[in-house]
Copies of this chain bind each other. A is one copy, B any other.
Amino acid sequence: MDRDTASSRECSIEELCIDTIRTLSMDAVQQADSGHPGAPMALAPVIYTLWQHFLRFDPEDPAWPNRDRFVLSNGHASMLLYAILHLTGVRVVTLDEIKRFREIDSKCPGHPEYGLTPGVETTTGPLGQGCATSVGMAIAERWLAQHFNQPDFTRFDYNVYTLCGDGDMMEGITSEAASLAGHLMLGNLCWIYDSNRVTIEGHTDLALSDDIAARFRAYGWNVERVGDANDVERISQAIESFLRSHDVPTLIIIESHIGYGAPHKQDTSAAHGEPLGVEEIRLTKRAYGWPEDVQFLVPDGVYAHFRDGIGQRGGQMRRDWLSGFAAYGARHPDLALQLDQMRTGHPPDGWDHDLPSFPTDSKGLASRDASAKVLNAIASRCPWLIGGSADLSPSTKTRLTFEAAGDFEAGTYGGRNLHFGIREHAMGAILNGLALSGIRPFGSTFLIFSDYMKPSVRLSALMALPVIYIFTHDSIGVGQDGPTHQPVEQLVALRAIPDLMTLRPADANEVVEAWRVIVELTHQPVCLVLSRQSLPTLDRTRYASAAGVARGAYVLAEAGEPAVILIGTGSEVALCAQAYEMLKREGIAASLVSMPSWELFERQDQAYRDSVLPPHVVARVSVEAGSVIGWDRYVGRDGAKIGMRGFGASAPIGDLLCKFGFTAEAVLAAAKRQIAQSKENGA
């Protein structure tokens, strides 16, 4: 369609559609008595123009693979998205759901939630996350295009649009992501920045003086400006400029008026996060030339206008794409199969054919090194397993080293080794963006720096995305780098995130089994927690098979009716095993338990859990070189917890293990005290 002709012809219906978005947003927030009306009122012309005239989106199938992605990074403006989803015809988003905005079990919750509402591409609300996630989506498109497109078929060529605000611009994660997007020359990425000069505390002058355009040019972006958010012509021109600019991302800066049209609240922070109030809504509607006393009004012609615009255009594009799929499948069956497997989340057949098995070795190897072998064995058979590190891959050992893997860089978008730079937080969100695009992503850094990316890890869990986090250097075992680099509380902090799985394998063969668990996960993120230092590879003829990892905890060895249970995770299992053997030599029966995953263990039935931790055995010792918080659950109020009660220190590992009490002798002594105490209490 010719835009110029279209817009002049459609002027009044356009305004009607735009004001419908505005009034639906105002009414919904007022009805909920909670929410953010100001941004939707300001940005209605922007979302209208983008969706109606540009966005490749089919309301009939909002998840069509080659759709453009739209991310609302300023998630508090959720009504903007719900309104456009409703008006364009996404079935689930009914007017009734909009009337139930922010009510329990509504499809229109306070902030957009992925998986709940069709058309919501990612959960947003924590500022900056949407921006950074959209970089992951743009990376994904470049990789998918490189991997799947053929001379005769273009499978992927979508764009990623992100709407964001002042808050996004100030958050560090956004800077990280923008810098990487510029570096990678992601020409398929367009951020639209709502510059309304108002934040919660007042005018942005209070805290922001950046020359945003210059800042983004310094990142390597193309920058467009729209002086007035109501100027749909200029918005269209800016988007067209983006579409012409193929080798750098684009930032469109739009000057807008928060709460546009509200006579007393426009351009004030009062329009941001609370209902306008009945009277102000009335006056605003009057300013729009809108019926003042009707709520949730969708005037005649509005639905039809969207149906004839985005509906027809998007539907046609989807049908064209689908119709090509059969031919593509016939010509490239292997690639079509891959696409299908990616869709279901399951790994390709034979993914585990090359998995190594590690022989008994008292010296052993670091679990990060064992994981390197396993990861490469899996990745070589699963083409869509891609990832990288926040500039630590030589240390985290997560590089895909086989020849076909290559590096993902500007111009070599088929590479599978990503270089996130020293940008952990953006890495987390980018992994989310990759997972949302069907790729199985992994990202690595030191466990201590999981702190830098926590908000993104939380979103992986909230969205149930199968992101693989590989966190190495997992304890004071780090040694001489000292307390700033030694995790203490990170493991329990990760365990506390709902719906996230943590795995801390004890030796190389547990690493293999941990990866078996990981590969099969389709709707859950996981943290694989690995050591810097060597861990002995346990003799599995003497101890139980590492297959027990799949149940979260398992008995490695048991000598008769145990007087005491020793529970370890990761590097501390070998320590427990030493203490177990010492007890055995003294004729004391113990049970040796490896517990790589609390979450997996809690999923087992009571009978299994009782078989690993028999309730009547109250003498128990847990050993983990991290915070002791949470271990009472497994050792009881009177159990012994050997762990960290303060920060670490800078010294060689041997000195630290002594200093902080991680010795077989200390475990032995604690076990004996536990046995004595349980006898006393039993007497």
Report which A residues bind B (CB closer than 8 A).
Answer: 32, 34-35, 75-76, 102-106, 109-111, 113, 123-127, 166-167, 170-176, 179-180, 182-183, 199-201, 206-215, 217-220, 269, 389, 391-395, 407, 409, 419-426, 448-449, 451-452, 454-455, 458-459, 461-462, 479-485, 488-489, 492-493, 495-499, 627, 629-630, 632-633, 636-637, 644-647, 649-652, 655-656, 659
A141 to chain B, nearest CB (A): 20
CB-CB < 8 A to A492: which residues of B? 492-493, 496, 629-630
**Given A111-B650, A629-B492, A650-B106, CB of A498 within 8 Å of CB of B207:** no
Closest to A36 in B: B481
CB-CB < 8 A to A647: which residues of B? 461-462, 498-499
A247 to chain B, nearest CB (A): 13
CB-CB < 8 A to A481: which residues of B? 34, 76, 110-111, 125
A-B contacts, 16 of them at CB < 8 A, read A102-B480, A111-B482, A111-B485, A113-B482, A171-B422, A172-B426, A180-B207, A182-B210, A206-B419, A208-B421, A211-B220, A451-B454, A492-B492, A629-B630, A630-B632, A633-B637
Q: Are A109 and B649 in contact (CB under 8 A)?
A: yes
Closest to A484 in B: B125
Q: Are A183 and B209 in contact (CB under 8 A)?
A: yes
CA distance A498 to B489 in the complex (A): 8
Tallying the copies of this chain within the complex gives 2
Q: Are A484 and B126 in contact (CB under 8 A)?
A: yes
Q: Are B489 and A207 in contact (CB under 8 A)?
A: no
CB-CB < 8 A to A179: which residues of B? 170, 208-210
A43 to chain B, nearest CB (A): 18
A459 to chain B, nearest CB (A): 8
A61 to chain B, nearest CB (A): 26
**Given A200-B395, A455-B451, A455-B452, CB of A104 within 8 Å of CB of B651:** yes
CA distance A410 to B647 in the complex (A): 38
Closest to A658 in B: B104
Most chain B beta carbons < 10 A, residue from A409, A484, A497: A484
A627 to chain B, nearest CB (A): 5
User: Which one of B207, B409, B452 contacts A421 once the chains associate, using CB atoms below 8 Å?
Assistant: B207
CB-CB < 8 A to A110: which residues of B? 480-482, 485, 650
Closest to A650 in B: B109
**Given A215-B218, A425-B172, CB of A207 within 8 Å of CB of B420:** yes
**Given A32-B480, A124-B484, A462-B484, CB of A629 within 8 Å of CB of B199:** no
Q: Are A102 and B493 in contact (CB under 8 A)?
A: no
Q: Would you list the 8 A-B pairs with minimal beta carbon distance, nearest first? A: A172-B172, A207-B421, A125-B484, A109-B650, A489-B496, A104-B651, A175-B175, A214-B218
CA distance A489 to B481 in the complex (A): 28
Q: Are A176 and B180 in contact (CB under 8 A)?
A: no
Q: Are B391 and A201 in contact (CB under 8 A)?
A: yes
CB-CB < 8 A to A32: which residues of B? 480
